[in-house]
Structure 1
Amino acid sequence: MTGIIILFAFVAVVLVAFVAITHRSLPDSIILFMGVGLGAVVLFFVFQAPDVALTEAVIGAGISTIIFLMALKHLKDEK
């Protein structure tokens, strides 16, 4: 069962990362980037590293996404 979760999460992370890179809309790419981070959180939990998973959830998926969205808003305000 664990192997299926690992395989599914890994494939999902790779696919979402590819879509985030190739997507034309910057806000959508930022949200997809957050999805990559959340997929990594699942993998860290499965590999029994809850401290790393929590750090990735807070910093990688949470704070980084907020900073990117704020920067995007700031850039749109300047135009």
Structure 2
Amino acid sequence: MYQSVCQRGHEIRSSADRTVSGYCRSCKRDDDRRDRIAKRAALDVVRVFEAAGVRFVDNGQPVAAEEVAAQIAAVFGPQV
């Protein structure tokens, strides 16, 4: 029986434990969860600023909270 571990120590029992690109499914699930948490936290920060009266604009045009949050998450996202 095929059995090994990924770089982070997750058990790989078969090809079903890897994505199409060969990445460990457990690692991908962990990374996706971390990304969702970072994006949610960034959106919460933006909404707190908006509630305090801060408005986000780009060249005079209002910017949606989700767009600002996505930019924040991209820059300050999960650090491993």
TM-score (structure 1 length as normaliser) = 0.39
Instruction: Work out which of the two has the higher radius of gyration on C-alpha atoms and give 1 or 2.
Output: 2
Q: Report the structure, 1 or 2, having the larger strand content.
A: 2
**Whose RCO is larger (CA < 8 A, sep 6+)?**
1
Q: Report the structure, 1 or 2, having the larger helix content.
A: 1
